[in-house]
A and B are shown apart, each in its own frame.
Chain A
Amino acid sequence: MTTRIDRRMAKLKAEGRPALVTYFMGGDPDYDTALAIMKALPGAGSDIIELGMPFSDPMADGPAIQAAGLRALKGGQTLAKTLKMASEFRAGDDETPIVLMGYYNPIYIYGVDRFLADAKASGIDGLIVVDLPPEMDEELCIPALKAGVNFIRLATPTTDDKRLPKVLENTSGFVYYVSMTGITGSALADTTKVSAAVTRIKGHTALPVCVGFGVKTAEQARVIGASADGVVVGTAIVNAIANVLGPKGEKTADPAEAVATLVSGLAQGVRSARLAAAE
């Protein structure tokens, strides 16, 4: 069974370029604005959308994404609304893969079976749940795979060769390599080490490997994209939204436009990655 993620990755492989994976927070700063941002992403060059599910206690996130989640929750975002946002997007775009990213508790409270049914119906293709390591696969990973939803696992610099097979075992869609030990939005790690890690992971799996955490600029996207199958950008996008919000959360410019401008630049970086590498 292939998913939109598999098809998109295969297509990009044929084109010979890495994917640009864009993260933003569902409901930040409010539902309508976030939906407009989401709709603007593919046109700006995003190949895969990571739709953030806000959580009150995002333990792996830095200040930017923490603040985005709080803005979304304050704006009334819930998991049900995030799913609705995906399905509204899906009504106008049946190709761009959507990956939900967040923490387990809201899903657990929603109910795993109900969540998977609703996610599937909303056109969700994959899940990244930060606090569900392979040791907890029975919770959501196995049910998701049975439901035909990709479960995308994070591999990190602490995931050594001995542990990698366990991490990769039930992973599908792609592998998300976290470029450093740290929280989202930290400084980018040494890119040589990142390339070496991507090569190491590729030795264990045929799945595409996308790299995230710390990628903020088109140049960084280009460098990372030279070795990875995809580049994930999150904090920079979330910051682009925060930058056009005033002290009371009022919009000083159009957030969707701000995001589109940033993503277009990143897309150029990603598209020049293999060209540059070939030089």
Chain B
Amino acid sequence: MNKPAMPNSFRTGPDEQGMFGIFGGRFVAETLMPLILDLEEQWNKAKTDPEFKAELQNLSTHYAGRPSKLYFAEGLTKHLGGAKVYFKREDLNHTGSHKINNCLGQILLAKRMGKKRIIAETGAGQHGVASATVAARFGYPCVVYMGATDVARQSPNVFRMKLLGAEVRPVTAGHGTLKDAMNEALRDWVTNVEDTYYLIGTAAGPHPYPELVRDFQSVIGTEARAQMLEQEGRLPDVIIAAVGGGSNAIGLFHPFLDDKDVRIIGIEAGGRGLDGIEHCASMSAGKPGVLHGNRTYLLQNSDGQILDGHSISAGLDYPGVGPEHSWLRDSGRVQYEPILDDEALEAFQLTTRVEGIIPALESAHAIAHAMKIVPKMDKDQLVIVNLSGRGDKDVHTVANMLGMEI
């Protein structure tokens, strides 16, 4: 369904209305409309401003620690016995995930716009921590909305946010996950329009957020592409990333979209399987709808009510996905596959043992798919997996799943 014509380039979206084909857009209350139009204007000025670029570059290098390494995962490669596996080490960034890339960019925008207060939503707490971090660094008060379920399962990140001076507001509506946190953040924003900057953590929401988050995260793919060319002398055969809202994935994918020989795979949370409703595979099992300011693939019932979904990974526990992914899915450029909770857990443990790297459960979904396809590939083929974050935050969840006590 919704098959758009094959474009000359996959990298030109969104259009002026913020659409990627039928996806994206600006489905927000009128109160917010002037704000997102202002944000778009400011973003358009900032992205071509050499001073803005230089400041972001400087922070990326000296504060976040970029460029992140492209690491040849020799242990995993030997174990799988197929293609060479590389990890893009976003876990080594300051705050332990790719989220800092976007937060640094947006805090500079907030500063340019003269905002006085930062709000953010978070699932796994990675974006909440990154938001609290940049708010601390630039001296802003910060409120982070987090589902009550996530507050419980990501307690180390909750504590980190509090240490950083942020206020964490648990949201009890729905299942108490990312969707509910985003509703509550939008309610805060619509109330505090004068002084508040909404720092969205994923490549979703009303235009221009999907575009600007993608652009801030594209540093991942831009670096990985250059690093692979330098280290192997050619482009990878396959690149893989986990997709919740999809910011680490779009960041890795976007610079590769027009490299036609590079196969691109996004991994959705298959939870306990796609038969029931205990998963978050919106593109594999959902249909297009409108939520949180954009049209995109959503888990929903026949009445258009949004379902809560389930994933072992709080960061993937979202019933929607960024609109550009929906478009890439329908255009066929990117293939999206589900990975189950159990498969992710196995990848988590294997990576820890053979690489000495504890990956975030989100990233473990991407690794799990590599474990499926790499053994069937030739030894001279190259695979990049986006290691979007470190897994220290997940040890309680994993211990719980394995029936262990910490």
Contacts and interface: CB of A to CB of B under 8 A. Distances in A.
Interface of A: 54-60, 62, 66, 73, 78-80, 103-110, 130-136, 153-160, 163, 167, 178, 181-183, 186
Interface string B64-83: 00000000000000000000
B302 interface: yes
Contacts of B28: 131, 133
B287 to A, nearest CB: 8
Interface stretch (B107-115, B157-165, B184-192): B184-192
Contacts of A156: 29-31
Contact of B30 (A54, A79, A80, A167): A167
B29 A104 contact: no
B291 A105 contact: yes
Contact of A57 (B30, B31, B179): B179
B141 interface: no
B332 interface: no
Given A59-B186, A59-B292, A109 B33 contact: no
Contact of B191 (A55, A80, A103, A183): A183
Most chain B beta-carbon contacts within 10 A, residue among A109, A134, A154 = A109
B136 to A, nearest CB: 27
B190 A183 contact: yes
A154 B191 contact: no
A131 B306 contact: no
Given A106-B303, A109-B302, A181-B190, A154 B183 contact: no
A133 B190 contact: no
Given A59-B292, A158-B34, A110 B304 contact: yes
Given A132-B27, A135-B17, A57 B306 contact: yes
Given A66-B173, A158-B34, A160-B34, A59 B306 contact: no
Contacts of B192: 181
Interface of B: 17, 25-35, 173-174, 179, 183, 186-187, 190-194, 287, 289-293, 295, 298, 300, 302-306
Given A60-B187, A105-B290, A133 B304 contact: no
A181 B193 contact: yes
- Please give me the 6 A-B residue pairs with the lowest Cβ-Cβ distance, nearest first: A109-B304, A106-B304, A182-B191, A156-B31, A56-B305, A78-B303
Nearest to A159: B30
A135 B289 contact: no
Contacts of A133: 26-30, 33
A181 B196 CA distance: 12
A158 B193 contact: yes
Contact of A178 (B30, B34, B304): B30
B289 A108 contact: yes
Contact of A59 (B29, B298, B302): B29
Nearest to B298: A105
Contacts of B300: 105, 109
Nearest to A163: B34
A105 B300 CA distance: 10
Given A132-B27, A136-B25, 10 more contacts: A57-B179, A57-B183, A80-B303, A108-B304, A131-B27, A133-B26, A134-B33, A156-B31, A158-B30, A159-B34
Nearest to A107: B304
Contacts of A153: 30
A268 B29 CA distance: 32
Contacts of A160: 34
A59 B187 contact: yes
Contacts of A159: 30, 33-34
A106 B300 CA distance: 10
A163 B291 CA distance: 24
B30 A56 contact: no
Contacts of A57: 174, 179, 183, 291-292, 306
A107 B303 CA distance: 8
B303 A181 contact: no
B190 A136 contact: no
B172 to A, nearest CB: 10
Contacts of A167: 30
A103 B303 CA distance: 12
16 contacts: A57-B306, A62-B187, A105-B300, A106-B305, A109-B304, A110-B303, A133-B26, A133-B29, A134-B33, A135-B25, A136-B27, A154-B31, A157-B31, A181-B190, A182-B190, A182-B191
Given A132-B27, A167-B30, A60 B293 contact: no
B306 A105 contact: yes
A158 to B, nearest CB: 5
B305 A73 contact: yes
A184 B173 CA distance: 16
Contacts of A105: 289-291, 298, 300, 304, 306
Contacts of B290: 103-105, 108, 131
Contacts of B187: 59-60, 62, 183
Nearest to A135: B26
Contacts of B179: 57
Nearest to B289: A105
B31 A104 contact: no
Nearest to A131: B27
Nearest to A58: B183
A135 B36 CA distance: 12
A66 to B, nearest CB: 7
Contact of B35 (A59, A73, A132, A158): A158
Nearest to A66: B173
Contacts of A155: 30
Most chain B beta-carbon contacts within 10 A, residue among A79, A153, A181 = A181
A158 B31 CA distance: 6
